[in-house]
Amino acid sequence: MNWNRIRDAISGPPTLEGPSQLPTYFPVEPAGCEKHAEKLFACLANEATVKARDMEKMGYGKSYYEDVEKERVAKLQQQPKKDDTTAATKIEDKADIDKSKLPSPNDNPLDECRLAIAYYKRCCDRELKKKKNWILTEPYRVQEEYRYKSKSG
């Protein structure tokens, strides 16, 4: 009998606290969490990617890395504004478009997968503690003969 499934059924769906973000151990797929990992990977590949691309088309794309984002903002400020032809300014003129479905600058593409992330996180938090899945969280060491040789000296 699987006590975890019974406990999950009684406790109801999990919730994420704070903004949607992937856990630090994200790309792992521990034994016992295959179903939740597949749903999350499918959601990230489809809904979240489509929303992120829509945000980039609208000119709202943000980088995960702070230094890249600072460079992008600096380049935008240096360029002279000849013709502002971003998708966001083109759409504001149209009256027949439903603006509630369009992305905004503060949207998070991972919000599309919020429930899948919550299920994945709950399952992985439980399964990664088991002995059969410990290896997935362990850092691994590359043997010396497989390391790149330095050309100096």
Kindly tell me the number of DSSP H helices and DSSP E strands found in the chain.
Answer: 6, 0
Q: Which of 4-8, 75-79, 105-109, 130-134 has the highest mean pLDDT?
A: 130-134
CA 45, distance to chain mean position in Å, is 10
Average pLDDT of 7-28?
A: 84
CA 105, distance to chain mean position in Å, is 17
Contact 103, 55 (CB under 8 A): yes
Q: Report whether pLDDT(39) > 90.
A: yes
Question: pLDDT (tens digit, 9 = 90+) per residue, 61-96?
Answer: 666 667 766 776 777 677 665 555 555 555 555 555
| Among the listed residues 146, 119, 152, 137, the one whose alpha carbon sits nearest the alpha carbon of residue 35 | 119
Structure tokens at 119: 């299920």
Structure tokens at 64: 């995960």
pLDDT tier for residue 101 given thresholds of 50, 70 and 90: low
Contact 22, 119 (CB under 8 A): no
Reduce the secondary structure of 29-48 to three states and give it as a string: CCCCCHHHHHHHHHHHHHHH
Structure tokens at 134: 């410990």
- Position 1 scores a pLDDT of 47
